[in-house]
Amino acid sequence: MRRRIPQDNLAPGGGGIPSMDAGRAWMALLALPGLGRQRARRLAAALGGPAAAWRAPAQEWLAAAVAPREVLLRAAAARDRIDPERLARRVAAAGVDWVAWDEPAYPRRLRTIPDPPLILYYRGRAPAEDVPWVAVVGSRRASPYGVQLAHRLAGDMAAAGWVVVSGLAVGIDAAAHRGALAAGGRSVAVLGHGPDRVYPEEHRPLAERLAATGWLVAEYPPGTPAEAFRFPERNRILAGLVDGVVVVEAAPRSGALVTADLALAAGRAVMAVPGPVTRRQGEGIMELLRAGAPPVATWTDVAAVLGDHGLGGV
């Protein structure tokens, strides 16, 4: 779904400068040192959009005052070394597509979170958004019980035509993806690295199946490695893409509980699968249940919760 702008499509009054679509403009702005996602968004809002912001002189950047003066001057100076079209060609050469947050194809649910990604890089094809999207997440150190239940629950949701979302990690995430695929359904993996990479490496066959039949998506461009700090950022996207989050086994202060908190903040339903409380992975589930998360064990349980929340069209 790449946006191709013919080179003879000139911006009005642009003095022969080719026009730029939103995706290329956001790519270029985010490549500037020190600018970052939130400053880039504020700069674009102040100057009439990402393409206008990219072309604006440094004096206008300083007047916008979206960052300290020295940061803006350093970023503006770096523009001479960045070619938006070259950035786009590198992404395409990696077999990756993109969609910008101000384009119609951007996921509608994700648009509503406080800090949506400015651009999504992806492989595969986004599933239809007129069916429920539900995340199934949980412990990397999952028990056989947790793996079996996540696989079954995801498979039943996928068989009902729902989209199953998870994070491609070992344990519950992988079980959810595999369950959805085994049922012939669609699954989405939200990544904490570039979509041309796979982490863990052992999940490369699973990632390729997801790219062939579902969607691998990240806010990081191709080549971005998996680093610990990226996964909490990834979790806000996972929570924002869905109508609800089902947690299957989770230790206290785990990434799955972070995702649950982000989902609640975004107005999504959060559910917990009861399980053995003798393992540390059951302690996080007990936290959710004590906090009022509805217990679920089947896809019909999940459907009832989504219906109670007016989510997912169920």
Residues 259, 194, single domain; the answer is: yes
- Which among 55, 87, 119 is the end of a domain? 87
Would 191 be classed as within a structural domain?
yes
* Residue 11 is assigned to a structural domain of this protein: no
Residue pLDDT, tens place only, 220-261: 999 999 998 899 899 999 999 999 999 999 988 888 999 999
Residue 102 lies in a domain: no
Whether residue 103 lies inside any domain: the answer is no
Task: Give the pLDDT band of residue 279 (cuts 50, 70, 90).
Answer: low
78 shares its domain with 118: no
Please check whether residues 187 and 249 belong to one and the same domain.
yes
State whether 261 and 293 are in the same domain. yes
pLDDT of residue 219: 97
Note the pLDDT of residue 19. 55
Task: Say if residue 160 is in the same domain as residue 302.
Answer: yes
Q: Which of 43, 72, 87 is the last residue of a domain?
A: 87
Within a domain: residue 101?
no
| Judgement on whether residues 117 and 184 belong to the same structural domain of the protein | yes
As a whole number, the mean pLDDT across the chain is 90
252 and 221 within one domain = yes
What confidence tens digit (pLDDT) does each residue in 206-229 have? 999 999 999 999 999 999 999 988
Residue 40 corresponds to which tokens in the numbers above?
């880039």
Do both 212 and 120 map to the same domain?
Answer: yes
User: Are 61 and 126 found together in one domain?
Assistant: no
Confidence of residue 313 (pLDDT cuts 50, 70, 90): low
- Output the pLDDT for position 6: 28
pLDDT at 17: 37
Model pLDDT, residue 192: 95
- CATH number for the domain spanning 279: value is 3.40.50.450
Examine the domain organization and report whether 183 and 138 are in the same domain: yes
Residue 277's pLDDT is 64
Is residue 197 situated within a structural domain? yes
Mean pLDDT for the stretch of residues 55-59 = 96
Q: Say yes or no: 83 and 144 in one domain.
A: no
From the CB of residue 85, how many other CB atoms can be counted at a distance below 10 Å?
A: 14
CA distance 99 to 253: 32
Q: Give dist(CA 238, CA 176) in Å, integer.
A: 14
- Based on the fold, state whether residues 304 and 238 are members of the same structural domain: yes
pLDDT computed for residue 282 by the predictor? 73
User: Residue 47 contacts by C-beta under 8 Å, 6 or more apart in sequence?
Assistant: 53, 56, 60, 61, 64
pLDDT at 8 (0 to 100): 24
The answer to whether position 15 is within a domain reads no
Q: Quick one: pLDDT band at residue 312, thresholds 50, 70, 90? A: low
Q: Is the pLDDT of residue 280 over 80?
A: no
Mean pLDDT, rounded, for 15-39:
83
At residue 48, the pLDDT reads: 95
Residue 10 pLDDT more than 90?
A: no
State the residue range of the domain holding 55: 22-87
pLDDT of residue 69: 96
pLDDT of 148 above 60:
yes
**Within a domain: residue 3?**
no
Query: Can you tell me the distance from the alpha carbon of 146 to that of 47, in angstroms, rounded to the nearest whole number?
Result: 50
Q: Domain count of the chain?
A: 2
User: What pLDDT score was predicted for residue 228?
Assistant: 86
The pLDDT value given to residue 20:
80
- pLDDT score recorded for residue 310: 75
194, 121 contact by CB (below 8 A): yes
